[in-house]
Amino acid sequence: MALLGIAGCNLFNPTQSVDIASNDAAALTYEGYLHFQKTEYGMAREYFERAIHADSSYSEAWYGYAKAIASMQPGLNPFELVTLTKSSSTNPFGAFKAMNDKDAKILSNGIDSVMLVLDEFIVLDTTGRTDKRVRFSHFADSYSILCMAQAGLVARNEDLDLGDILYVDQNGIHIDFSSMGSSIQNAQKIAGAMAKLGKGLKADKDKAGSVIRNMMPDSTGDWLTDKAYADFTDHAANFMIDKGEQLEKIDVNRADVFYNYGNITDDDGDGCVDEEVIDGFDNDGDGEVDEDPRSQAVNVTDMNSIQYTTNIIYPPVKELKMVGRYESGDVDIDMNGLAGDNDPDEWTFKNKDYSVRFNNGDHLLKFAFKADFFSPYFMNLSPEERIEIKDAVRHDTDPNNIQYSLQQRQQLIGGCWNNYDETRFRLWIMSRNAL
């Protein structure tokens, strides 16, 4: 009785409150909101914090707590962040790159302190440990914008540009890890921030497309319909979550094989350069999926085949197009001496039609569709043994102490090594040492 009396009293005379019962989450939260309305964010924050201590399932207290902390930070209104990304007509993340160190640090700290609270609440919400009055989905759009800014700032600190990693063109939304940085630590940091963004986008699918659309340059608005934006955003979100988890789990000694998209190097030791398409399938038939991948920008998406990819991470690939250094014929993917337009096999699927590839489970590219492309020895190995031999070969780069001769590579692995002569082999060794 006494408790109810105090709470009731405070509801009507909030400013006179001095001693709300420390276990009355509702009254503490209400008091917090009154201070919040008066822009007394420090006081509001204290009450919300006390409310959470009283009852950690009280979602309105969590939401208020996050809002109070956000309001105490300069420049943290999500709408201001959108304006910031819109300030460049070509690259939504240019503003982060242009920011001076001090401002970037302030913004970054501000985002981190709000994220700390939101992430803790999201864990409670998604494991059913709150009263469900405020859900993650209610603030997922703001959360996504904060994540995007956080990823942009992480990239900035690594001297990278998130606009090179996440961008939109006529073929959809691309996430290209070709510029993820030189170390697994950098890659993990950025992939981690992007995975959080993916979760934010997934939490409110209805708004997700427009969140991305609002962040991107205006020109992208003409390329894709709202429906396509929404579909691509969903794929992109799945992709970010999947890659984030993959990079988090992967053996650090082999992670470079998977996050160096389009680095024009044979990363996995089969002699082929950027042989895989990022499509979730094994395109060279070695048993590994998306190892040593080419730039994501080569994928032309087939919107008509989206039906085949329900709940799948990768939009269906219609065909491959040459871009950048591939286009200029600099990159001989299978190392047969021909590149670019002169070697269409590197750019053509054995089965042209996605639905046929999907139904047959055969996503091979023509260059790898050859009898004994991989050696009989290699094909008889277990998946682990194949990786072991490829790993031994990819690290065998000392020109003065070569462990595996070209002939041995052809016998043990085959693959593109079959296309090498001694000159190309010497070039492979030299290029590895030039890194």
Integer-rounded Cα Rg, in Å, for the chain is 26
312 part of the interface to Ca ion, by CB under 5 A: no
72 part of the interface to Ca ion, by CB under 5 A: no
272 part of the interface to Ca ion, by CB under 5 A: yes
DSSP character string of 5-42: HHHHHHHH-GGG-S---TT-HHHHHHHHHHHHHTT-HH
- Asked if 278 contacts 262 with a C-beta cutoff of 8 angstroms, the reply is no
Question: For residue 239, which of 283, 287, 199 has the smallest C-alpha distance?
Answer: 199
Which is closer to Ca ion, CB of 36 or CB of 374?
A: 374
Q: Near Ca ion by CB under 5 A, which window of 64-72, 217-225, 337-345, 398-406?
A: 337-345
Would you give the binding string for Ca ion spanning residues 339-378, x where CB under 5 A is met?
A: ----x-----------------------------------
> Closest approach of Cβ 337 to Ca ion, in Å?
7
Distance CA 261, CA 179 (A): 8
Which is closer to Ca ion, CB of 224 or CB of 333?
A: 333
**Residues 276, 298, 322, 378: which binds Ca ion (CB under 5 A)?**
276
Q: Near Ca ion by CB under 5 A, which window of 158-166, 181-189, 270-278, 378-386?
A: 270-278
Q: Near Ca ion by CB under 5 A, which window of 62-70, 83-91, 229-237, 281-289?
A: 281-289
Distance CA 81, CA 100 (A): 16
**Residues 60, 161, 176, 332: which binds Ca ion (CB under 5 A)?**
332
60 part of the interface to Ca ion, by CB under 5 A: no
> Closest approach of Cβ 342 to Ca ion, in Å?
8
- Asked if 302 contacts 352 with a C-beta cutoff of 8 angstroms, the reply is no
Q: Near Ca ion by CB under 5 A, which window of 177-185, 292-300, 369-377, 378-386?
A: 292-300
Distance CA 274, CA 346 (A): 10
256 part of the interface to Ca ion, by CB under 5 A: no
334 part of the interface to Ca ion, by CB under 5 A: yes
283 part of the interface to Ca ion, by CB under 5 A: yes
Angle at 329 between CA 328 and CA 335, to 5 degrees: 155
Strands 172-175 and 166-169, bridge-based pairing? antiparallel
Kindly tell me the sign of the dihedral angle through the C-alpha atoms of 44, 129, 110, 174.
negative
How many helices (H) and strands (E) the chain has is answered by 20, 4
Residues that bind Ca ion (CB under 5 A): 266, 268, 270, 272, 276-277, 279, 281-284, 286, 288, 290, 292, 332, 334, 336, 338, 343
